[in-house]
Amino acid sequence: LDESSQLEQFEGKVKDAIELATQKSAAGRVKALDAICTGFLKRYCPDFVENQQMTICDLVERSLKKGKGVEVEAAARLSILLGLQLADPEAVYKELKSLLSQMVADKTASPVARAATATSLAGLCFLGEGRWQRW
């Protein structure tokens, strides 16, 4: 396959995974989020991701709010990878900052979820040139 065919195939797979990330099954959502993460690790494509930025950000936000354990971890990982794919990750940082801060401070959340969201918040703060603040 030539480069443009590979890119089209990649974009199609990511779009399919984005679609699957909205399903009712938590296991299916986690699998879809992981598939997007894997795709972002394999290929840098800021133009494509920029067009999908808000959709992916919404997926991350929904999974962070409603997900449990593994889904929160996958969403937190995807948020950092989304920031790395973009020329200007500040929008992702601003979009997710308050939710991530709230989750890190939530003492009733699982330690694993809090650690994942703390890592995500720190990574996005670094990438988005945000100022670390006390919440």
Dump pLDDT digits (tens) for 41-67. 999 999 999 999 999 999 999 999 998
Residue with tokens 């990330």: 21
Helix (H, G, I), strand (E, B) or coil at 83: helix
CA neighbor of 76 nearest in space, from 91, 57, 90: 57
Q: Are 78 and 37 in contact (CB under 8 A)?
A: yes
pTM beyond 0.75: the answer is yes
Model pLDDT for residues 91-111, shown as the tens digit of each residue? 999 999 999 999 999 998 889
